[in-house]
Amino acid sequence: MVMPWPLPENDPFHPAWDQPQPDDEDTRLAALAAQRLSIDWTTRRQQITVTVQNRVVILAGTVADPDARAAAGELAWDVPGVADVCNTIRVVERRRRP
């Protein structure tokens, strides 16, 4: 008889608290960056997502003009502890109805 070997996440003898957890510093930086973007009048009504990995802020989403994109990047850089900012926000100009 052959017994299946459990995968690490299914191992009943390996406690869940021993698993790698998300970095608390990254979570803190993401919250601070998102807060700054939601407060600033240029970026607060834009569709921007904030992700942080290894103290690098990754901005994604869409904004209405290039000034909002630039402001989002500057606001993310102003958060203490940020090592780098990757600004992948796209500028999508809204079409006006005739």
Residue 1 in tokens: 């008889």
How does pLDDT run along the chain (98 residues), one tens digit per residue? 454 555 555 555 555 555 555 568 999 999 999 999 999 999 999 999 999 999 999 999 999 999 999 999 999 999 999 999 999 999 997 766 66
pLDDT score for 11: 55
**Domain housing 69:** 22-91
Q: How many CB atoms lie within 10 A of CB 42?
A: 18
* Domain containing residue 39: CATH number: 3.30.1340.30
For the chain, the residue count is 98
Residue with tokens 């510093």: 25
Number of domains in the chain: 1
Residue 69 in tokens: 């994109």
Could you tell me if residue 27 is inside a domain? yes
Asked if 91 and 64 count as a contact pair (C-beta separation under 8 A), the reply is yes
